Amino acid sequence: MELSEGIYGRRSVRSYLPERVPRDVLDTLIDAGRWAPSAGCAQPWAFVVVDEPVQIQRLKSIAPGMFSEPAFVIAVCAERQAAVQRMGPQGETLALMDVCMAAQNISLAAYAAGLGTCIIRSFHQRAAAVLLGCPDGVVPELLIAGGRPDRIPRAPNRRALDQIRHFNRWGQK
């Protein structure tokens, strides 16, 4: 797939077919995630791939922002404590930035594999950490719900380039 097709064609999918996604395909998504850039190449991430229906339902119950019945959920976690130890006080913010980069890679790789995804932040992070058995200092930052798309939504409008781009100094168009 052309990179531009990935960037412009990917949508947040919230309706999936009831089909399992093979684990080797899920592994290709995590592989794309681990090739994301990260500050100092610290790679302060870990991914809990949830594909058991009962565990997906448990996650759903603590995620008001999950509107679908996905075939899988990838919990993108930050190794926050290790990041702070390695990078100092900035480590927490940097780790959050890094896991977002990984999440975008995963979303694009899923789209290229014919899957739909939706990034979800509206969930109870501490409950998710307990449910997923995350060790101390490891924080689920994003959930990525995914599966074979049933319905692909229309693209929400984007703010115009003119509204968001400034040349050299704010306000210079």
Binding site for ligand FMN (CB under 6 A): 11-12, 14, 65, 67, 118-122, 155-156
Question: Residue 62 class from Cβ within 10 Å (0-12 exposed, 13-18 middle, 19+ buried)?
Answer: middle
Buried b (16+ CB within 10 A) or exposed e, 11-35: bbbbbbeeeebeeeebeebbebbee
Q: Report the amino acid identity of residue 151.
A: R
Least gap, CB of 72 to ligand FMN (angstroms): 16
Q: Which residue is nearest to ligand FMN (CB)?
A: 65
Least gap, CB of 63 to ligand FMN (angstroms): 7
Cβ-based nearer residue to ligand FMN, 25 or 152: 152
Cβ-based nearer residue to ligand FMN, 86 or 124: 124
For residue 150, give the DSSP letter. S
Least gap, CB of 102 to ligand FMN (angstroms): 13
Cβ-based nearer residue to ligand FMN, 120 or 132: 120
14 Rama sector, left if φ>0, alpha if ψ -120 to 50, beta otherwise: alpha
Least gap, CB of 127 to ligand FMN (angstroms): 15
